[in-house]
């Protein structure tokens, strides 16, 4: 079945550090891939997405590239801020919008 | 962007009572909505797919008689936790498909605490 695996957290970084959160997936067919962010006390928000191989999703300085050959969709940001502290979920969706989420990675950014 | 609301945002109830949670799409019509459950520090687990005008489709292991879903209109789906027990305490999140969009829009979630 379809599944998403992402690196365990928490990840603790200093402000302006480089961020990578690894995500790999298993899916039949050609899924769309997403990163969602959940800030403390809030619901999920779509951060970025990619719908086909080699697409790069980007938003708010974050980016991720859909790599079919390695079945990966790693999230990166060149310089994190304290306000980026949140839980990040990698997810995939096949036809019908049924979405499978990874376990989530909690990010703490220190000033 | 599209807006999805949930009501209530938090609820505390006694064991054995039933609790209804509403999910509304405020600025679009959603033929399909999804209900998720999130335990502390864990990921979202899909509970069921709610289809307007028809029965919900439940994921394996989810008790349909305990978690009643009604999608009576194109903008409203409700989840009723019947005879709630402390182990039902969780964060319940809904999402909705906006026609023409290739992603879901999530509600802010409802925190249920059963005493």
Percent of residues, chain B, with pLDDT higher than 70: 97
Burial class (CB in 10 A: 0-12, 13-18, 19+), A49: buried
Q: What is the pLDDT of residue A62?
A: 98
Rounded Cα–Cα distance for residues A32 and B32 (Å): 18
Name the pLDDT band for B56 (thresholds 50, 70, 90): very high
Q: With an 8 Å Cβ cutoff, are B108 and A106 in contact?
A: no
Q: Is B57 helix (H, G, I), strand (E, B) or coil?
A: strand
Residues 6+ apart with CB under 8 A from B51: B31, B32, B57, B71
What's the average model confidence in pLDDT over B71-94?
Answer: 94
Name the pLDDT band for B97 (thresholds 50, 70, 90): confident
Rounded Cα–Cα distance for residues A83 and B95 (Å): 25
Distances (CA, A) of B77 to A59, A94, B34: 31, 22, 9
Rounded Cα–Cα distance for residues B79 and B61 (Å): 16
Q: For residue A82, what is the DSSP state?
A: G
Q: What's the average pLDDT block by block, 10 residues per block, for chain A (111 residues)?
A: 89 97 92 92 87 95 97 97 96 80 94 94
Express each pLDDT in A39-48 by its tens digit: 887 778 899 9
Q: Greater confidence, B54 or B36?
A: B36
What's the average model confidence in pLDDT over B56-82?
Answer: 93
Name the pLDDT band for B99 (thresholds 50, 70, 90): confident
Contact B92, B50 (CB under 8 A): no
- pLDDT score of B1 more than 70: no
Asked if A34 has any chain B CB less than 8 Å from its own CB, the reply is yes
- pLDDT score of B68 more than 90: yes
Show residues of chain B in contact with A97, CB under 8 Å: 32, 34, 97, 103-104
Express each pLDDT in A21-45 by its tens digit: 999 999 988 899 999 998 887 778 8
- pLDDT score of B46 more than 80: yes
Q: With an 8 Å Cβ cutoff, are A34 and B103 in contact?
A: yes
Q: Exposure string (b/e) for A101-110, b if CB count within 10 Å is 16 or more?
A: bbbbbebebe
Query: What residues pair up with B76 in beta bridges, in sequence order?
Result: B24, B73
Mutate to test the interface with B, among A43, A52, A92 (most CBs of B within 10 A): A43
List, as ranges, residues 68-107 from A with C-beta within 8 Å of B. 89, 93, 96-104, 106
Contact B30, B74 (CB under 8 A): yes
Asked if A7 has any chain B CB less than 8 Å from its own CB, the reply is no
Q: With an 8 Å Cβ cutoff, are A97 and B104 in contact?
A: yes
Show residues of chain A in contact with B49, CB under 8 Å: 96, 98
Rounded Cα–Cα distance for residues B33 and B48 (Å): 9
Q: How far is B43 from chain A (nearest CA, A)?
A: 4
Show residues of chain B in contact with A40, CB under 8 Å: none
Token readout for B76 is 């409203």
Q: What is the pLDDT of residue A96?
A: 63
Lookup result for tokens 């439940």: B58
What is the overall mean pLDDT for chain B? 91
Q: Greater confidence, B113 or B55?
A: B113
Show residues of chain B in contact with A51, CB under 8 Å: 102
Query: Cis (ω within 30 of 0) for the bond into A53?
Result: no
Q: How far is A54 from chain B (nearest CA, A)?
A: 18
Q: What is the pLDDT of residue A30?
A: 85
- From A3, A4, A9, A1, select the one nearest A90 (Cα to Cα): A4
Contact A6, A21 (CB under 8 A): yes
> Hey, how many other C-beta atoms are within 10 angstroms of the C-beta on A56?
10
């Amino acid at each position: 079945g379809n599944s998403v695996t992402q690196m365990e957290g928490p990840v603790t970084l200093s402000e302006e550090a480089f961020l990578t959160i690894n995500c790999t997936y298993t899916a039949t067919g050609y899924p769309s891939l997403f990163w969602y962010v959940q800030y403390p006390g809030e619901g999920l928000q779509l951060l970025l997405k990619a719908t086909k191989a080699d697409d790069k999703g980007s938003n708010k300085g974050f980016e991720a590239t859909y790599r079919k050959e390695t079945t990966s969709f790693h999230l990166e940001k060149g310089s994190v801020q304290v306000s980026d502290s949140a839980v990040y979920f990698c997810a995939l969706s096949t036809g019908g919008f049924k979405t499978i989420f990874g376990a989530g990675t909690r990010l703490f950014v220190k000033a | 962007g599209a807006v999805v609301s949930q009501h209530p945002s938090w609820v505390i109830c006694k064991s054995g009572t039933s609790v209804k949670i509403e999910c509304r799409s405020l600025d679009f019509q959603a033929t399909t909505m999804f209900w998720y459950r999130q335990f502390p520090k864990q990921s979202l687990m899909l509970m069921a797919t709610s289809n307007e005008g028809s029965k919900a489709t439940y994921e394996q292991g989810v008790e349909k008689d305990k978690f009643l879903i009604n999608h009576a209109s194109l903008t409203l789906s409700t989840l009723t936790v019947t005879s709630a027990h402390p182990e039902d305490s969780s964060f319940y999140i809904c999402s909705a498909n906006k026609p023409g969009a290739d992603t879901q829009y999530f509600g802010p979630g409802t925190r249920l605490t059963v005493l």
